[in-house]
Amino acid sequence: MSKRILVIEDHEDNRRIMNDTLSAAGFEVIEAVTGDAGVAMAESERPDLILMDIQLPGIDGYEATRLIKAKPALRHIPIIAVTSYALSGDDVKAKEAGCDAYLAKPFRPRELLAMVREFVPEAPPEE
């Protein structure tokens, strides 16, 4: 059974790049475009990993992360902040919200895949 990754990202191009990269590596990808929808999908789908944009319509990625991590049934799910917020201290802010790792945009697809595999070690091997 393939591992499922929830991508919470409002920009279609970024979702496509992540989806293409992860799908090609054998992951099942599900998507949400708002923080609220992402929290709801995390609860209903129980993914193995979440890739969280920070700048989202409605609640931002920090708040969505806090809401997910506040739920006992979901707090074990690793969350990687994937954001263009690359200012000094933003990685600390993401960690304080509950993110397990931080990846700045723009990223290289191999970089994203390597980070995902750190948290989902049973992932399919790279081709």
Domains, in order of start, for the chain:
4-118 (3.40.50.2300)
Sequence-ordered strand ranges (E) for 9-100: 28-32, 49-52, 79-83
Cis status, amide bond into 47, omega within 30 of 0: no
Residue that wins the pLDDT comparison between 8 and 123: 8
List pLDDT tens digits, range 108-122.
Answer: 999 999 999 999 976
Q: What average pLDDT does range 97-108 have in this prediction? A: 92
Residue that wins the pLDDT comparison between 1 and 66: 66
The side-by-side arrangement of strands in the sheet containing 49-52 is 28-32, 4-8, 49-52, 79-83, 101-104
pTM: 0.92
Would you state the torsion angle of the CA atoms of residues 40, 55, 96, 15, taken in this order, to the nearest 10 degrees? 60
Q: What is the CA radius of gyration of the chain?
A: 13
